[in-house]
Structure 1
Amino acid sequence: MKFGIALLCGLLALHSCEVLADTETACLLKDPPIQCGGFCLSVLTPVLNHLTIAQDHRNPSDLNKSNEVLVRQYTMETQLAAMQEKQASFENSLDNTSLQNNILGQNFTERQDYLESQLSALQEAFFRVETKIKYLGFEQIGSKYFYIEKVTERNWSSASKSCRNMGGHLADIKDQEELNAIQANLKKDTHYWLGINDLSKEGEFLSMPSGKEAPFLKWASGRPTQLNTSNCVFLYNGEMYDYPCNYSFRFICQTEEENE
């Protein structure tokens, strides 16, 4: 607009100078910018007024339509901004919910693991108490429960019956480690019947509870004797002896229960 006005002023000034030249009047200006500017302004004022009037007298319906478009555009932009804000808030809410669900799930899993471990510990404690009640007088030695008779002496058959009445059987030792653990609880220089014999076949020493070959034998020097009358085995100072079953000794019982 400014460029157009300047161009128009220039053209008018040029035209005025040409007119003055034609009338043989000198076109001399003491202050060209000011004088030309005032001249241009006086000439262009009616034109500018006409443009302003034309602008002010535009069709009212066109103005209304323009205003409606602007209002609608503003409204849509406002609604869009509000929707974007709601979307961001919803996404935030989803993230928070997901995080809370993860935390709750983790806490639930940890609590479940804790409760399961507590239940397992209670079951183990209950099993031990139940075993102690069931096998009153038995004590844990190694992985098994044994009863060591400390007073009464019985023959092998009677000792075997006493163990059965208590819910166990005469002991058959499984290895040297178990023998050492048991021997640490026995009285020195004392005989204790075990659940091993060769009553079925001479020289074939079997475990009474399983009916199979004894899992572990640690004979004393010169044993077994190979005598038909020495069919039952006792333990004495960590070594085993075959001896007649009708003699009365103390005895060792064991249960089928094992502490895992």
Structure 2
Amino acid sequence: MLGLTIALICGLLALGSCGALADTEPFCLLKDPPNQCGGFCLSVLTPVLNHLTISQDQRTPSDPKKANEVLLRQYTMEKQLTALQEKQTTFETSLENQQKSLDNSHVNLTERVDDLESQLSALQETLFRVETKIKYLGFEQVGSKYLYIERITEKNWASASKYCRNMGAHLADIKDQEELSAIQAGLKKDTHYWLGISDLGHKDEFLSMATGKPAPFLKWATVRPTRLDSSNCVFLYNGEMYDYPCKYSFHFICQKEEENE
């Protein structure tokens, strides 16, 4: 098809050239048109043919099989690239979801730890109260002291002191008027109660049995019953203190100080 087109163009050019020259000259430049036209036409058509060849080569590769392979590879690479992009997007989404899950887990874990700590604190407080109740079983709190008031049995001063020691306590002393008033409010009226105060070491030097130091507070009755040498132990009666022979049996008061945990 291309050869026929070239031949036709060559013929037209030859005739045109001779015709154009015929108007000005009596003879054609081509003395032998049939033989010379090929070379003439070739020299004229070479730029046109080159252009057509280049355009055709640009449109269609010289080897169709290789062209198909290139297109197939390009298509395959595009599909792989698209798949990789989709995988990247899926991976990023998965990472975001995992991060959110980790954040939620961290928040939940923190909340659970705080809740467990609160429960532990509550249990420790409950345990402390239970231990305190067991430790001071039978005692009642008055200020910073725990007191056991014996309201039924009467004992002499030494036996009462021993009874308190067996309970992990000692006969009570009193630190001030406020504490005396609080204790007296729980005592039976017109009843004697031994205290942990005596001058068994030196006459009229009344010491606290708990500390071995001078009694922190003394409130003697207006009229003390006796000042005999045998009146060495102190009892409480209707909010006032008396010294009396230790051999007599009275009710008594034991005390425990609250320990700082």
Aligned to 1:187: 188
Partner of 1:238: 239
Q: Structure 1: which amino acid aligns with 2:78?
A: Y
Q: Counterpart of 2:110 in structure 1: which amino acid?
A: Q
Tell me the CA shift for residue 96 of structure 1: 2.2
**Residue in 2 that maps onto 1:78:** 82
Q: What is the SS of the residue equivalent to 1:98?
A: helix
Match of 2:97 among 73, 90, 93: 93
Confirm or deny: 8 A CA contact 1:197 1:231 kept in the other structure. yes
Deviation at 1:237, TM superposition (A): 2.2
Contact 2:144/2:257 (<8 A) preserved = no
Task: Give me the identity figure in percent.
Answer: 50
| Higher-Rg member (1/2) | 2
Separation (CA, whole Å) in 2 of partners of 1:259 and 1:55: 99
2:172 matched to which residue of 1? 171
Choose which of 55, 64, 71 in structure 2 pairs with 1:67: 71
Amino acid at match of 1:114: S
Give deviations 1:202-238, integer Å, cap 9, x for gaps.
2321111332222333334467987534321111222
**Which residue number in structure 1 is paired with residue 13 of structure 2?**
none
Unaligned runs of 5+ in 1: 1-22, 24-45
Contact 1:144 1:259 in 2 (8 A): no
Q: Distance in 2 between matches of 1:58 and 1:165?
A: 115
- 1:58 and 2:61 equivalent? yes
Aligned partner letter, 1:63: A
Residue 246 of structure 2: SS of its match in structure 1?
A: coil
* RMSD, aligned CA: 3.5
Q: Distance in 1 between matches of 2:135 and 2:117?
A: 27
Query: TM-score, length-normalised on structure 1?
Result: 0.65
The 5 Å alignment of 1:214-253 reads 214-221=215-222, 228-253=229-254
Deviation, 1:92, is: 1.2
Unpaired segments of 5 or more residues in structure 2?
1-22, 24-47
TM-score w.r.t. the length of structure 2 is 0.65
Counterpart residue type for residue 68 of structure 2: N
Aligned with 1:111 (options 108, 112, 115): 115
- The answer to whether the 8 A contact 1:220-1:239 is kept is yes
- Going from structure 1 to structure 2, the CA distance change for 1:158 and 1:66 (only over 3 Å counts) comes to closer
Partner of 1:159: 160
The change in CA–CA distance for 1:55 and 1:126 in structure 2 (over 3 A counts) is same
Distance 1:151 1:58, change over 3 A: closer
